[in-house]
Amino acid sequence: MLILKNINRRRNAFTMVEMMAAVTISIILILLMYGIFDKVQTVFVVGQNRARAMEEARAAMDMLKRDFESIDGAEPLEIKLRGRARMPVGEVLNPFFVQTSFTSEDDGYRLVEYMYGGRNTYEMAGLPTDSPVGAIWLWRSPVVVSKSQLSEKKAIHRSQIQDFDRANMGGGYPENLVAYGKMIDGVIHFGVRKVAPAVEGARETHLEIEIAVLDQKLMKEVEYGLGQALEGETDSFKYQRRMELILENLDRVYFFRQLVRLN
């Protein structure tokens, strides 16, 4: 009597088959959930990358805008073309790069210079020939109270620190560059152009500033991912492949255009 009761009770526990079925279902569910989480995580990371790229681009754009708004109208604004991309991006952007220098007037005077350069150096000679991706570099002189203090002294100072940089670059310490600071990385387009009203003889009254920036993940894929995959290929082939990858990911490249009134 006692033994029979025990046997009956044991039948209420899960059998091996039940357990296996349950485990299998659980594994399927876990895999399914992992898949969903993975997808969500990917979307989230992509979103985060985008947000970060936009944040960086916005910060850079705000800085550019603030500086250009404080241009001293009495002094010349120089805009020099530094180069053009060898391939257009889609049908709407034909990237080009400028170097622009001006005197800023805001609680004093100072010289400001923005230029497009390579990711590791602002020097033209350092611009890579195998990649369309670069950076915007910035130099600001110390603020002085009188414009006369700006002129030659500052230019000489800048040229001295550039010489210093050049000397150091031979030793391979690009991170120690002091003449220009890297403002934003992963840039494929930096344009500044003067805009005039559509009337003959009208003077330019505004500036249009444009930048196009890759998100960090795309930049890594373009620069390092393809760099490894294309090792041994010619520079022009690498350049073309990199540009093609950018073209395939237009939603991960951010373009900002702002209008600034000249003083």
- Residues that bind another protein in the complex, under the rule CB under 8 A: 1-2, 5-6, 9-10, 12-14, 33, 36, 40, 43-44, 47-48, 50-51, 54, 58, 61, 89-93, 195-203, 205-206, 208, 212, 250-261
78 or 208: whose CB is closer to another protein? 208
Locate 229 and state its tokens: 């995959």
Residue closer to another protein (CB basis): 48 or 151: 48
Tokens of 147: 């414009």
- Least spacing, CB of residue 176 vs another protein, in Å: 34
- Give whichever of 62 and 235 is closer to another protein, judged by the CB atom: 62
Tokens 């620069």 -> residue: 223
What single-letter amino acid sits at 8?
Answer: N
Nearer to another protein, 89 or 127 (CB): 89
Instruction: Tell the smallest beta-carbon distance from residue 40 to another protein (Å).
Output: 5
Please name which of 122, 154, 149 lies closest in space to residue 138, comparing C-alpha atoms.
122
Instruction: Name every residue whose Cβ is closer than 8 Å to that of residue 221 and which is 6 or more positions away in sequence.
Output: 245
Smallest gap from residue 102 Cβ to another protein (A): 18
Q: Which is nearer to another protein, 171 or 203 (CB)?
A: 203
Cα separations in angstroms, 182 against 59, 140, 204, 249: 13, 12, 29, 25
User: And the tokens for 263?
Assistant: 């003083």
**Nearest to residue 124, comparing CAs of 109, 110, 134, 138?**
134
Cβ-based nearer residue to another protein, 8 or 228: 8
CB 255 within 8 A of CB 210: yes
User: Least distance (Å) from another protein to the CB of residue 147?
Assistant: 22
CA-CA distances (angstroms) from residue 12 to 4, 18, 20, 21, 24? 13, 12, 16, 17, 21
Q: Which is nearer to another protein, 16 or 199 (CB)?
A: 199
Q: How far is the CB of 33 from another protein (least distance, A)?
A: 7
Min. distance of Cβ 24 from another protein in angstroms? 15
Rounded to the nearest whole angstrom, what is the least distance from the CB of residue 76 to another protein in the complex? 16
| Residues 235, 95, 184, 242, CA torsion sign | negative
